[in-house]
Amino acid sequence: MGYQHKMADGSAIALPVGKVVCIGRNYAEHARELNNEVPSEPLLFMKPSSALSPMEEPVRVPRDMGSVHFETELAVLIGERLSHVDEQAAQHAIAGIGLGLDLTLRDVQDKLKAKGHPWERAKAFDGACPLSAFLTPASVGDLTDVELRLSVNDQVRQQGNSAQMLTPILTLISYISQWFTLEPGDVVLTGTPAGVGALQPGDKLRVEIVDLLRVDTCAE
């Protein structure tokens, strides 16, 4: 089965499956845990639509490519075309709020970074972006106070709040739209809190927007 956007109640979303725009190092503690400089402006990279997979299905861990890290993120589904917009227009265009895993081939990424090369080989492979179903923006409420959490084998590994983001969600969407157009069906991954680590086949994962959305899945 391929990926299709859907709401948390199981209903399909009448939007195409587009690109994923990711924000690197949007939580200062995550930047520091990987010995990266904390950026002064959003760090953007992309995953293609072929990277998307349903989060409730088993998460496939690439073999023979070194360490594969989980990075848990709030995901924002875009419902309208956005180009050079302000934060008010960005808010109006949000079709859903969900969860994403930015799977990363960490050893591959470290080698690419050392050479000053782009990250796509480490970030954009097939299945590199499992996504949950989406909640309505109204049900989530204040986007500057959203708690997310990842447990692996019943141990909390990542926990953060959108209040800790260096660049808030609406500011991010507006910023992205100044550089390139966001289309209906695109997804924005908003950065990961500290606590990233290696994912192993057989791991059991629970990914949550605390008190609002929960996905139980596994790695294989």
pLDDT tens-digit series, residues 17-67: 999 999 988 987 755 665 667 677 899 999 999 999 999 999 999 988 999
- Domain hosting residue 165, numbered range: 20-218
Q: Does residue 6 sit within a domain?
A: no
CA–CA dist 35, 180 (Å, integer): 29
Structure tokens that stand for 179 in this block:
């550089």
pLDDT in tens, 160-190: 999 999 999 999 999 999 999 999 999 999 9
How many structural domains comprise the chain? 1
User: How far apart (Å, rounded) are the C-alpha atoms in residues 11 and 77?
Assistant: 15
Task: Record the pTM.
Answer: 0.94
Query: What CATH number is attached to the domain comprising 193?
Result: 3.90.850.10
Instruction: Evaluate whether residue 2 is within a structural domain.
Output: no
